[in-house]
Structures are given as structure tokens and as C-alpha cells.
């Protein structure tokens, strides 16, 4: 085989370069792994607005990646052209959740491994990653941060509220404070001692307190 034979490309020759059974098997497995990733994403999603289209995208991404890698591994010239074509692709969609990046990379990696014929690695690896995410992503704990929003009427009530909350929680940090006539609003980050939130009820019943709201805090504070 000469150097020219290696880079010789013919459309009719490429038709039979990939076995039909291998292609169907790879795409079926890619769909199965993609559906598994989609189900794990749905179970572990903890954002504000769930997007079903992103879950469908994960399934499609596994299958598309598998299709591309199958084509690349069958032809040297096509692999070089694919590198050049993909290098100019730019995606403008913002990733709102950091964990979504892991799901995107997981889908791409699964598609690459499947197309390479490493089926046990793709299946067992995906199962282990899914179990890991199920265990750690949605684990609830009272040490997670919360935002406590309190509306008071005057400085004396603010002092009483602050002292009371400090005795009820393990950490109390003022994030913002809004003051108007006969109105004081405190936004504080707190860490609770346990999972009991009854102190918020008692807080709302205190004299000089108009409102008390406890909100789960994901770490992205907008003040």
C-alpha cells in the first residue's frame, strides 16, 4: 500500500466501510446509554426551572457523537476534514447549572467510548457515574446554607430578632439590609444546627416582626 492509497477516497468505497450491524448496534446502545443519562439528569436536577429539552439533548448528543466517531474511525481523510469542520463550530447557549457541564461531557464521552467498541467501559462506567450522582447530588443536609429574610418595624425589634436567630442557628451572616421609615428588611445567610425550622414560626410571632421567610440557598447570592 502506497502513501497515495492511504488518502484515496471514493464515495462508493465509503458505502461499505462500516458494517450495518455494527452501526445499528452502536446507535441502539448509544440510545440506551443516553436514556440512562437522561433519567439520572431528571432524578438529580435541583435547579429552578427543569428543561426537558436539555434531557433530550443529552440523548441526542450520545447518538450524534457515536455517529461522528464511527465515521471518523472508518476514513482517514474524513477524520482530518471533521477536525477542521468542528473547529469552527461555536456554541452561544449559556450553561446555567455547573452540573450540566458534567452531563454534557458524560454524554460526549459515552458516545466516543461506544463508537470505539469499548462497550463494557461505556455501560459499567455510566452506571457507576449515575450511582455516584444519585448518592451525592440530591443529598439533603441541615448544614446547607439558607437565606433568612426578616421584615421588622424598628431598631429594637431588629436587635431582638438578631439575638434570637443567633441563638437558634450555628452561623448567622447579614448579606443585605434595607431601611425605610418604619421598615427594616434583613437578608441573612444562616447554617442551621439541625433540620428543625420551627424557630422561623416563633420568629414570625415576635413583636415588631411583620414577615419571616426561609429560602434554600444554592450559593449564588444576588444582592
User: Per residue in 156-176, pLDDT tens?
Assistant: 888 888 999 888 888 888 888
Residues 6+ apart with CB under 8 A from 149: 185, 186, 187, 211, 212, 213, 214, 215
Instruction: Indicate which CATH number applies to the domain containing 172.
Output: 3.30.70.260
Per-residue pLDDT for 200 more than 80?
yes
- Pick from 177, 174, 204, 172: which is nearest to 191 by CA? 172
Asked if 195 and 121 sit in the same domain, the reply is no
Number of domains, the chain: 2
Question: What pLDDT was estimated at residue 222?
Answer: 42
Query: Does residue 8 lie within any of the structural domains?
Result: yes
**Predicted local confidence at residue 180, as pLDDT:** 87
Res. 223 pLDDT band, cuts 50 70 90: very low
Residue 97 and residue 35 share a domain: yes
Residues 156 and 108 in one domain: no
Is the per-residue pLDDT at 52 higher than 50? yes
Based on the domain organization, do 92 and 17 belong to the same domain?
A: yes
Residue 141 lies in a domain: no
Average per-residue pLDDT for the chain: 79
Q: What are phi and psi of 179, to 5 degrees?
A: -125, 125
Owning domain of residue 130: 3-136
Q: Over 90: is that where the pLDDT of 154 sits? A: no
pLDDT greater than 70 at residue 140: no
Q: How confident is the model at residue 218 (pLDDT cuts 50, 70, 90)?
A: low
Domain assignment present for residue 191? The answer is yes
pLDDT exceeds 70 at position 2: no
**Is pLDDT above 90 for 35?**
yes
Q: For residue 145, what are the CA distances in angstroms to 49, 172, 213?
A: 20, 10, 14
Question: CA 24, 75, 116, 31: dihedral to nearest 10 degrees?
Answer: -30
For the beta sheet containing 146-152, the strands, ordered from the edge strand earlier in sequence to the opposite edge, are: 169-180, 183-192, 146-152, 209-216
Q: Report DSSP state, residue 206.
A: S
Q: What is the pTM of this model?
A: 0.61
- Indicate whether 146 pLDDT > 80: yes
Segment 58-114, tens digit of pLDDT: 999 999 888 888 877 766 555 555 555 555 556 566 677 778 888 989 999 999 898
Q: Which of 17, 26, 7, 1 is nearest to 114 (CA)?
A: 26
Q: Phi/psi zone of residue 28: left (φ > 0), alpha (ψ -120 to 50 degrees), beta?
A: alpha
If asked whether residues 114 and 193 sit together in one domain, one would say no
Q: Looking at 136, 161, 182, which one is the last position of a domain?
A: 136
Spatial distance between the Cα atoms of 132 and 126, rounded to a whole number of angstroms = 10
Query: What share of the chain has pLDDT > 90, as a percent?
Result: 16
Amino acid at each position: 500500500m502506497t502513501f497515495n492509497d492511504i488518502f484515496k477516497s471514493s464515495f462508493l468505497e465509503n458505502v461499505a466501510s462500516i458494517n450495518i450491524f455494527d452501526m445499528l448496534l452502536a446507535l441502539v446502545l448509544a440510545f440506551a446509554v443516553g436514556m440512562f443519562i437522561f433519567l439520572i439528569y431528571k432524578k438529580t436536577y435541583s435547579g429552578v426551572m427543569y428543561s426537558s429539552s436539555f434531557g433530550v439533548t443529552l440523548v441526542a448528543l450520545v447518538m450524534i457523537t457515536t455517529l461522528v466517531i464511527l465515521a471518523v474511525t472508518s476514513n482517514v481523510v474524513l477524520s482530518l476534514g471533521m477536525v477542521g469542520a468542528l473547529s469552527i463550530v461555536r456554541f452561544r447557549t449559556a450553561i446555567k447549572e455547573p452540573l450540566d457541564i458534567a452531563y454534557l461531557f458524560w454524554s460526549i464521552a459515552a458516545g466516543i467510548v461506544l463508537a470505539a467498541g469499548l462497550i463494557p467501559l461505556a455501560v459499567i462506567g455510566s452506571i457507576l457515574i449515575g450511582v455516584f450522582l444519585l448518592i451525592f447530588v440530591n443529598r439533603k443536609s441541615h448544614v446547607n446554607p439558607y437565606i433568612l429574610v426578616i421584615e421588622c418595624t424598628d431598631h429594637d425589634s431588629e436587635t431582638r430578632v438578631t439575638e434570637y436567630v443567633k441563638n437558634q442557628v450555628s452561623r448567622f451572616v447579614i448579606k443585605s439590609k434595607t431601611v425605610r421609615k418604619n421598615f427594616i428588611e434583613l437578608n441573612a445567610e444562616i447554617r442551621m444546627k439541625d433540620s428543625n425550622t420551627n424557630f422561623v414560626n416563633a420568629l414570625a410571632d415576635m413583636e415588631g416582626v411583620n414577615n419571616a421567610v426561609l429560602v434554600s440557598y444554592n450559593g449564588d447570592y444576588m444582592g
